[in-house]
Structure 1
Amino acid sequence: MNVLFFMIIAYLLGSIPSGLWIGKIFYGKNLRDYGSGNTGTTNTFRVLGVKAGSITFAADCLKGTVATVLPIMFGVTQFSPIVIGACAILGHTFPVFAGFKGGKAVATSAGVLLGFAPLYLLFLLAVFLIVLYLSSMISLASIISALVGIVTTLVFPAFHFLLSGYDFFFTVIIIAVASLIIVRHRENISRIRQHKENLVPWGLNITKQEPRA
């Protein structure tokens, strides 16, 4: 019963549409009407600016961290806490407070890892930043990080590198969430193949993207 309670709390936490609410309350803008139409961190940065984007990222990340550590704080150990954290990711992607149309789960997934495997998160963050610098694309950095997450979740525990051993729930959830992140970026993948993907003003843009004005 306690596990179900925390799963519901985690889903509701994840369902808080940070970027959407910040845009409507403080900027008078509905993110769904601008840019990519997504309510996550990247589109918030693009439409509302650095301040709003940073706050949205922090809020979305915090949702995942709180959902993961909350059951630990209350001594609920029947299931791995990452199972609870995964409910926050589900809420962020399909939020009950925003018509079940949410973000792409990158920031909230990072928050879950921060609460469960912080050193592994730092490794994936390094991968993300390297790809971002080379490509100037948050989307590609997210996709590559997700792919690396799938591979390393299967490989690292065998060598006790960053992950001490195989954890069934951790492995299944990381693979599932990484796959979800990739699927949620399918439109970005199409634009990347056409060399029309949106860029950030940082990095080398080695694939020579030329986004539409």
Structure 2
Amino acid sequence: MMEWLLVVLAYLAGSVSSAIIVCKMMGLADPRENGSGNPGATNVMRIGGKKAAAITLAGDALKGLLPVLIAKALEVDSPVLSAVAFAAFIGHLYPIFFGFKGGKGVATSFGVTLGVAWLLGAAVSGTWFLVYKIGKISSLSALVAAALTPFYTWLIVRDPYLTATFTLISAILLWRHKSNIQRLLAGQES
């Protein structure tokens, strides 16, 4: 019973929209109605600058990180840890508090990877930074990091449940970025 409560609480944590809260607290426009319309750190940067984006990024990562760390502290088994990780991620994408319309999940998925294993989080973020340094395109960096996350998970954690979970998370991240992929292929992504 406690395991399912952890999964529900992880989803609820994921459902807290850092972008909307940060924009409201800083007197900025609602990110769902401005810029790209996506309640995530990249759109918050367009609307309110680097400080607002950094706070949003940290909030989105923490809501993935904390539920996983709590589950690990309670020494749940791998299937439950995988469910907690997935629930926090899905909460960000489909938040109950905001009409089930959330962000794309990059920062929250990073927080989840960091919670599972710091080396996994370092590999994913290192990939993002390396690709960004070369290409200067945030969405491309996120796509490459997401595509490599299942491989990193198997290499570092060697857990079939977590590898399957991160394979699903990565597939969803790629799907959520389909418009970015189309713009990248057309050479139109900023």
Q: Aligned pair 1:130/2:130, yes or no? A: yes
**Residues in 1 aligned to 2:146 and 2:183: alpha-carbon distance in whole angstroms:** 18
Runs of 4 or more, structure 1, over 6 Å off, are none
Give the CA deviation at 1:70.
1.3
Q: Percent identity?
A: 33
Contact 1:93 1:105 in 2 (8 A): yes
User: What is residue 177 of structure 2 aligned with on the other side?
Assistant: 185
Question: What's the TM-score, normalizing by structure 1?
Answer: 0.84
The alignment of Structure 1 onto Structure 2 pairs a total of residues equal to: 190
Residue by residue over 1:10-54, the C-alpha shift from the partner in whole angstroms, topping out at 9 and shown as x without a partner, is 000000011012212322411122221100111111211111100
Residue in structure 2 matched with residue 205 of structure 1 by the alignment: none
AA partner of residue 161 (structure 2) = F
Shift of 1:118: 1.0
Moved more, 28-37 or 104-113: 28-37
Distance 1:85 1:149 in 2: 14
Q: Distance in 1 between matches of 2:78 and 2:42?
A: 36
Q: 2: CA distance between counterparts of 1:130 and 1:174?
A: 21
How far apart are 1:75 and its partner, in Å?
4.4
* Matched-pair contact (CA < 8 Å) for 1:3–1:78: no
What residue ranges of structure 1 are gaps of 5+ in the alignment?
157-161, 199-213
Query: What does 1:25-36 align with in structure 2 at a 5 Å threshold?
Result: 25-36=25-36
Structure with more helix by fraction = 2
TM-score by structure 2 length? 0.93
Gaps of 5+ in 2: none
Q: 2:51 is matched with which residue?
A: 51
The CA distance in 1 between the partners of 2:119 and 2:45, in whole Å, is 26
Match of 1:143 in 2: 143
Structure 1 residue 139 displacement after superposition: 0.2
Using the alignment, how far apart are the partners of 1:29 and 1:128 within structure 2?
A: 28
- Could you say if the C-alpha distance between residues 73 and 150 of structure 1 is closer, same or farther in structure 2, counting changes exceeding 3 Å? closer
Deviates more, 1:72-81 or 1:101-110: 72-81
Deviation at 1:73, TM superposition (A): 2.8
User: 2: CA distance between counterparts of 1:28 and 1:103?
Assistant: 17
Kindly name which structure, 1 or 2, has the bigger radius of gyration based on alpha carbons: 1
